Structure formats: C-alpha cells, structure tokens
Structure 1
Amino acid sequence: MSDTTVIPVRGTDGMRDYEVHVGRGLLGDVARHLGPRVAKVLIVHAPALGARAELLREQLADRYEVLLAEVPDAEGAKRVEVAAFCWQILGQTDFTRSDAIIGLGGGATTDLAGFVAATWLRGIDVVQLPTTVLGMVDAAVGGKTGINTAEGKNLVGAFWAPRAVLCDLELLDTLPRNEILAGYAEVVKAGFIAEPEILDIVEADPQRATDPGTPEFRRAVELAIAMKARVVGEDFTEQGLREILNYGHTLGHAIEHAERYRWRHGAAIAIGMMFAAELSRLTRHLPDAAVERHRRILDSLDLPTSYPAGRWQSLLATMKRDKKARGALMRFIVLDDIGRPTTLQGPDESLLFAAYQEIAS
C-alpha cells in the first residue's frame, strides 16, 4: 500500500522482529503477512465483527482452511473459559505449529488471541488486526498477552510477539466517538511519558486530533505506536524501560477491577494518569502547570479525572496485588516532568492517600 507507514519493532530478549503497518485498506493484504507454511487459520473475533470476519474468511479461503471463533465482547473475552474454547477448536481441527491465529477486534480480543497463540503447542504465529484506537496503539503492539482472573487484570499471560500488526484506520471510521475517546487515553499517555508533540496536537484542536479521517489523528497514532515500538524493542519482557508504559495503570487497573471490567480501559487509565500526576507533584515536584495540563487535556477529551472518595481502601488492596508490585512493594510510574518518567517504589501509603484525595469526588 503506497500510503502505508511501516513501524519496525526490533527484537530483544529472544523476541523476533516484526512490523506494525498503519494506513487504510490494509485488510485486503492479510495473506502476505501469514507464514509460508500456514495451512490453517483461526480468526478470533468479537461479536460485532462477525460480518467482517466472514469477509476475511472468504478472502483467505482459496489459500487456507479458515475457521472462525466468536468470543465475548470487551473484557468478557479475557477469561480462561474463553481461552479453553479456542484451545478446543484448535485441538479438534488439528492445528500444528505451522498454523496461525488472527486476532480481529479491540484490545481484549487481541490480548486473548495472542495468549491463545502463545500457549497452543507452546507458541504459534498470530497476526493482529486491531479494530479500535486502544488496540492499535497499545494492546496489539508489544507482545504482552493475557487474561484476567477474579483477583485482578492480566495476572495470567505470556510475552509473545505477533508476526505482524495491521492497523487499518478505515476500521475506525464507524466507531462511536466515545469509543474513540476512550482509546485515545493511551495515545495521550504516550504524550505525557515520551512524545509531547501528541499533547500539542490535542491542545491545538481536540476535535481534529480525535477524528480518524484527519492527518492530525494519524500523526498522533503513529507517534504513539512508534514510541511503544521503541520501548518494546529495548525491553520486551519488562525488566526496566518498558515499565514506563504503565503510567496511570496501577490505579487504573484497580478501578477496572472495582467496576468489574464494565468500564472502558481508557476511562480508568485517564483517572489513573491524573492520580499519577498528583503523586508526581507530591514526590517528584512535578510542576503545578504539568499537573493542570493533564486535567485540561483529559477534560477536553471528555475523559474522567476523578473517582469516589469512599473507594480508596478497596483500590489500595487491589493495587497491592497488582502484577506491577514487586514483593510487598508497590511501584508507580511518575513524572519528573512531561516526557521524563521514572519509577517510584514503595511510597508511603499516606502519600498515596494524599494524592488520591486530589482526585476524589
């Protein structure tokens, strides 16, 4: 495709190299990204994408045996019972290590598809076709796959690099605006931790920045993907640098758990970033202007920045169980300034409570 941006992800820690393709009309080119020995393909898709999955099946049917697996929407897909359903299909149809999975859907669907691929026969190929903003800039890129348990989000998972990621912006044209805005929280996160140009784009015109048909939207999305590609390429298994991608996620994941995963990920992460900014002000002397910039930008995107005061103790208990804790120490990504993230380990609970009070409603 002539108008396709190709963003390389360089392999480290045993991860293979792969590419993220950003453009329009990319779904017609899926076969080129499947391995040369593939005979069977399982398309894992969300319910709303049944027609799209069937079209893709027909497109690939002359070259492969193609099966479809419809899985629940959103976080309902990320359960062990759903993974077992996919494993059952793979087993009953004799999928081998030479075959492949396609993840077609939002971040939860691609997380599940990647996890199923990582665990079947100890790893088969997966090509990710994210259909949401969140999926394109975050979930489908980076090779972190996982499912949830009753105790928390993404506690069971594997690092497994996709063979390719195709971000077809045409898939976003019909998304509801609130869905685009929720996913855009991860784009803004990239701006706060590494790519301030994204923040400038949003502040200049929030409407154009979040319209999938504009150059501003594409630029922001490509900056966010390229940032994640760089970080993942340097630290695939999250031994150091990759941890900066967790900005806003420690509290954000606790909120998702508290809301029984009925909230959109981006909404919870927006509150988490606001909390992280306040914590940064208390512990790293993040300037007041930078904290207020968080609130102003998130408000302009109609993303929440507060959470009920009475929920703190349950949120704290969940954060202590979060996979980002090391031993008994909680870890937070905080900012010395915009674009300058660092790790805060084992902060006093009184500091956490004080930061929470600043976002409590």
Structure 2
Amino acid sequence: MTLLEDAEYQRLVQGLGESGDLAEGWRGAFLRTPRSLFVPDTIWIEEGGSGYRAARRQGQPGEWWAKVNSDDVVVTQLDDGATGGPGLATSSVSMPSLVARMLGHLDARAGHRVLEVGTGSGWSTALLCARVGDGQVTSVEIDGAVAHRAALALDRVGLRPRLLVGDGELGSARHAPYDRISSTAAVARVPYAWVEQCRPGGVIVTPWGTPLCNAGLLKLRVNEDGTAEGPFVDSVNFMWVRGQRPPLTGPGAGGVAGGVAGGAARASVSAVQPQHVFESVHAAFAIGLRVPGVRYHEEWSGGDPQGTWRLVLCDGEGSRAVVRVDGGVRQSGARDLWEEVVAARQWWDGAGQPQLTAFRVRVGPEGQEVRLSPPSR
C-alpha cells in the first residue's frame, strides 16, 4: 500500500466516523486492519446489470484500488468458484459502512468469545480479532478455497483466530459457549444451534430476509430459557448462507422468460398497479413475510421498456404469475401468487405501513416466529 492509498483508506475510516456508522471503540480496529490486505488480486466489477467483468490489481491498479478503498461492496467470487455458471456473485467483501454498523450492533468487547459465521475474505474476522483478541475468535467458512485465502491474509498480518471449514449453520459446539455470534451471510431461518451455543444474555447479529426481500439486520438476545428474541435494527442486503439460498428466477434460471408454467394459465385484470406494490423496502419486507417462498423479478424488452414491463412471481414449486404494466395477469400452479401479494400489501397498508424495524423475531427449539411490535400485533 502506497502513502496515497493508505491516505485514501484513512479518509474512508474518517468518513465512517463522521457519518455515525462507526461505533465507539472500533476506530482503532479499522485503522489497524486495512481492507486492501484482505481483497484478492482479482475482483469483479458489475457492469450496469449486464454481468461482471474482472479487474486485476496488476492490470487495472487504479480501478482496483478505487473500488477497495470505497464504501462499496467488492465481489470476490462468482458461481461458488465454478466456471461457466450464470455469473452469480457468491462471495464478497461487504460495504465498510455496513460492516461498521453490524459490528456496532454486535457490541463485542475485549475478552468476549465470538463465533463468526462466514469468514469470507477475512477482513471482518480481522476486525473482530483487533477488538477482542484473536484467541477469542472462531470463524467458520463453508468454501474451502475462500477459507484458505482468508487464512493466508490473516497470517500475513499476524492474526491467528481459530479458522474452521464447515457449515456455519451448525456453528461450532466444540468451542462454545460464545458471548457474541455474528453472521456475514443472510438467513431466512435462524439456526437454533446458534442460540444453543450462545450464553444467556449473549447477542446474535445476522442479516435476515425472505426469498422476496432479503433486507433485514436482526439482533437477538439469548434468554435463560433457551430462546432468543429481538428486533430488526437496520436495512441491509447480504448474500445468503448456501444452505438457505432461494432458487434463481429470471432468464437463465430455467423456463421461458415471461411465460407461465405449471398447467393452464388463469387470466385476470388487476386493480392494483404492479409497479407500485414493492415501492419501498419496507413494503417488500412485510409482503415477503406473508407470501412464503415467493420471489419476483422484472422483465421488459429493450426496444419498448415502458410498454413491455412485467412483474414475474414464482414460488419454486410450480406456481407462477406474470403481471403486465397495464394490469393484465396470467397465473398458473396451485397458488394465486398475485392475489396473495395484493392481500399482503393491503395488510401492510392497514397496519399503518410499518417499517421493517417495527418487526421482531423469537427463536426457540420449535422454530421461529416473526411479529409486528408490540408482540400482540
């Protein structure tokens, strides 16, 4: 790292402090562990929704450094490292502002024993080590190649946390109990193993979402009775843990783009404008809670995007709906997905259009429950 590049990173950290994203006590950890030390030589730059292209530290140093020292996500792997895939981002170094806010909610302190789910690049692992001591950190990564690169990066900076290759949903019971558990990948179901392995009074912070809207940051506190409960505290978007990834939708995911599969189509006309149903992350989040398994994407023709725009819904089990910009609806399968979505939107409107931070989750051995605060709602 040159003096100029170091100055750019210090300005990034200063900006995190000025914006309020950097919680008290974390500035030193960020300054001691520059992000660039954990980013591989090849990263992937998104090109206007048309896919990714490689940017290399040696070949495009200006672009590489600008991305690494920005408050932006850096994609480090496509398609779980396989070639010839659809070009899905499967590993990344998260936005520094999001990392800072998550660590602030985690409130890890010196001496705390921490479990991290998803080592990734190793940068967040290093930040935890700088805060609580590397002997207190256990980090689990499901991808062996990703874990190896992170281990090399951590070793180069003299940090030696306990690094494991395995399924982070299972945690690491051998090294429990933990005071804090932090996941760097989103879940739709909080694994109960995390609750079991966290001390009463301990904190679990994880991105959480539904197939329709992966947008919540959940902060749980573990109770003496073996349950955990807490609110959504922020709006974030993280890649899914591999075991809970929803199926792909859209062109390239199988089926005919814009078509309706799964039996005879049912035609109708919607009185609700489809382009306004998911007009905010809060609406989409609430709707996603009430339409289990449903995902959506948008399609249009480049020659006439306004006239050909359509919303496509599917549940991965054969039900599908296509809603055109003029309100025309075609549905097939066991579920009337568009009617479910419209009813969920009406419920959200009737509840006063609550933000996602108005919801909270309770996790127990029997599963999880999401409620609108107060609990009676």
Please give the range of the TM-score, normalised by the shorter of the 2 chains. Answer: 0.3 to 0.5
Name the larger-Rg structure. Answer: 2
TM-score by length of 1: 0.35
Which structure ranks higher in relative contact order (CA pairs < 8 Å, sequence separation ≥ 6)?
A: 1
Greater fraction helix: 1
TM-score by length of 2: 0.34
Greater fraction strand: 2
